[in-house]
Amino acid sequence: MMRLQKFMAMAGVASRRQSEKLIEAGKVKVNGHVVKEMGMKIDEKRDTIHVQGKRVFINEDKLYYMLNKPRGYVSTVNDEKNRKTIMELVPDEERLYPVGRLDQNTSGILLLTNDGDLTYRLTHPKHEVTKKYVIKVKPIPSKEKLSELRKGGDIGVYSIAPCEIRLRRFDEEENTGTYEVTISEGKNRQVRNMFEYIGCEVVTLKRIAIGELTLKGLRLGKSRKLTPDEIVYVKKLAGI
């Protein structure tokens, strides 16, 4: 027996937190009946679970993919607004789910898997997985403002931990600056919110690395399976 949201996470539906939201929204059925209460325990070998009309199982064959996400795609399996989703960019025959999210206007590296336990661990705040971004902003922020972000603290929507910010280039004529930002948190739209807090407009934002994983050799809009060594590495990041 296990809790329903744990089963959903292990089946690769979503993180436990997101699974709870699906349950609360009435999108989960157990043995044909809609379930909305938290904490329900199910027998994974006997009970039948459907999420949004599709039956889900705990898949013993784990899959791990990397995607070079373009702008204009949302990081969800389904979208109620009929926007383009990242699932259009991965193999149709594979049942994959994103590990965390990149917002619609952010491009770059995104992991997908059907390993719910890995997803839960990598997105949990206690696992401080570093993520590296390249951001272009306008106008060029002052050294004082950048120092404020590096130190961390309250940025209005939430508080952030100290982070690394390194100048890549600036264009005085365009009044734009391009920076490499490394954070160890995964708060919603964090890098974008950081620079908007100091009065900058985000021109472009791209995630270029998760830990030591990079997009090297992977073209925009393309996906590939992780290598065996990369799988060992992401499991190590997740503490598995």
Q: Please report the pLDDT score of residue 78 as a whole number.
A: 80
Q: Please report the pLDDT score of residue 154 as a whole number.
A: 96
Q: Which of 79, 103, 117, 154 is catalytic?
A: 103
Q: Please report the pLDDT score of residue 58 as a whole number.
A: 73
- The answer to whether 199 touches 141, Cβ cutoff 8 Å, is yes
Note the pTM of the prediction, 2 decimals.
0.76
Q: Please report the pLDDT score of residue 172 as a whole number.
A: 92
Q: Please report the pLDDT score of residue 94 as a whole number.
A: 67
Give the contacts of 114 (CB within 8 A, at least 6 positions apart).
11, 12, 59, 61, 62, 63, 94, 95, 96, 97
Q: What are the average pLDDT values for consecutive 10-residue runs of the chain, which has 240 residues?
A: 84 79 93 90 88 80 92 87 90 80 95 87 80 97 96 94 96 96 92 97 97 95 92 86
Which domains are seen in the chain, by residue range? Answer: 2-55 (3.10.290.10), 64-126+218-237 (3.30.70.580), 131-210 (3.30.70.1560)
Residue 103 known to be catalytic: yes
How many other CB atoms are found less than 10 A from the CB of residue 182?
15
